[in-house]
């Protein structure tokens, strides 16, 4: 994952200082991108010293902070080619009626308002430059229900709708959007979850990096508005599907009718 290309392509990654954000930051830097990393701490991920990486302290739920940070990136580099909405949160694993209201809602704010604000701030600059791509770090959780993680699952379902809306509205402007599920990457977050207690098999971060780079390079544009998953999807198969086309609604959240006679089908 190295390249001789000059760092003229600019990526913005939220939650870049650790975990999945750090993995993606290192992957993009290795492929010749300039990366602006946003996080609440403003920290720099390990292993990026001496590379074209800039850290910005930014609360992704703060509209003014997001607007100001995006403006600084554009002022410095004149463009943003890729936005990776990675920053996210999860709540304690309890039934909905046992959830703390503020904690539950905070997950929704971070996981939905954050990507909304970043996309809203970045996409106009992409349109002005002729196009760009948005990667939303989604999850298989967004495609199904949960008895214990209702905020997280609801937020990821909502995020898929942001992805789809961005893809539809952005199509005429060359702006594409993708849901990328990272699988189960070993991290502080996954180790904190009862769901993964005792887990010994984890998604290889290299699978996630390869998918993200393929999206960033335009190899999977046929999945615009759709969902791909690291650790499960085969990249060569995705490339072929992207070239050949997908059926209406494939890899998208849709209501499943009970049969051909269902009036809402």
Question: Which CATH number characterizes residue 238's domain?
Answer: 3.40.50.720
More confident residue, 108 or 2: 108
Determine, yes or no, domain membership for 250: no
Give the domain range for residue 29: 10-244
Question: If you average pLDDT over residues 47-66, what whole number do you get?
Answer: 95
Tell me whether residue 255 is in a domain. no
In the structure encoding, which two tokens stand for residue 88, read together? 């996210």
90 within some domain: yes
> How buried is residue 258: exposed, middle or buried, by Cβ count under 10 Å (0-12/13-18/19+)?
exposed
pLDDT band at 49 (very low <50, low <70, confident <90, very high): confident
Residue 37: inside a domain: yes
pLDDT-based confidence at residue 194 (cuts at 50, 70, 90): low
What does the pLDDT read at residue 265? 73
Count of structural domains, the chain: 1
With cut-offs at 50, 70 and 90, classify the pLDDT of residue 207.
very high
Quote the pLDDT of residue 1: 42
3 within some domain: no
Measure the CA–CA gap between 67 and 62, rounded to whole angstroms: 9
- Residue 236 phi/psi, 5-degree rounding, is -65, -40
pLDDT over threshold 90, residue 203: no
Of residues 33, 104, 152, 223, which has the active-site annotation? 152
Reported as a pLDDT band with limits 50, 70 and 90, residue 200 is low
Largest CA distance in the chain: 62
Would 264 be classed as within a structural domain?
Answer: no
Residue 26 domain-assigned (yes or no): yes
* Of 73, 55, 183, residue with least CA distance to 118: 73
- CA end-to-end distance (rounded Å), the chain: 44
Determine what percent of the chain is predicted with pLDDT higher than 90: 83
Q: How far apart are CA 213 and CA 97, in angstroms?
A: 41
Contact present, 19 and 187 (Cβ < 8 Å) = yes
Q: Is it the case that residue 143 has pLDDT exceeding 60?
A: yes
Per-residue pLDDT at 214: 98
Gap between the Cα atoms of 209 and 224, Å rounded: 18
Question: Does residue 165 register a pLDDT over 50?
Answer: yes
Asked if the structure places residue 210 within a domain, the reply is: yes
Is 265 among the catalytic positions? no
186 band by pLDDT with thresholds 50, 70 and 90: low
d(CA 265, CA 250): 15
pLDDT band at 183 (very low <50, low <70, confident <90, very high): confident
């Amino acid at each position: 994952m190295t390249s001789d290309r000059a760092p003229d392509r600019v990526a913005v990654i939220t939650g870049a200082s650790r975990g999945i954000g750090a993995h993606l930051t290192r992957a993009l830097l290795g492929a010749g991108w300039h990366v602006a990393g946003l996080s609440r701490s403003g920290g720099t991920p390990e292993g990026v010293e001496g590379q074209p990486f800039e850290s910005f302290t930014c609360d992704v739920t703060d509209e003014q902070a997001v607007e100001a940070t995006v403006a600084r990136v554009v002022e410095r580099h004149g463009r943003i080619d890729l936005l990776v909405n990675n920053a996210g949160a999860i709540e304690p694993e309890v039934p909905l009626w046992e959830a703390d209201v503020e904690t539950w809602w905070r997950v929704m704010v971070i996981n939905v308002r954050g990507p909304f604000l970043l996309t809203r701030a970045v996409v106009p600059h992409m349109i002005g430059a002729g196009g760009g791509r948005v990667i939303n770090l989604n999850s298989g959780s967004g495609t199904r229900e949960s008895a214990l993680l209702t905020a997280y699952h609801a937020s990821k379902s909502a995020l898929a709708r942001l992805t789809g809306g961005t893809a539809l509205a952005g199509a005429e402007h060359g702006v594409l959007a993708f849901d990328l599920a990272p699988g189960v990457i070993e991290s502080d977050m996954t180790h904190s979850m009862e769901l993964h207690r005792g887990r010994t098999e984890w998604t290889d971060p290299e699978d996630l990096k390869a998918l993200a780079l393929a999206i960033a390079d335009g190899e999977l544009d046929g999945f615009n508005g759709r969902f791909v998953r690291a650790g499960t999807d085969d990249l060569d198969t995705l490339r072929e599907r992207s070239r050949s086309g997908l059926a209406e609604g494939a890899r998208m959240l849709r209501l499943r009718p009970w049969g051909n006679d269902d009036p809402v089908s």
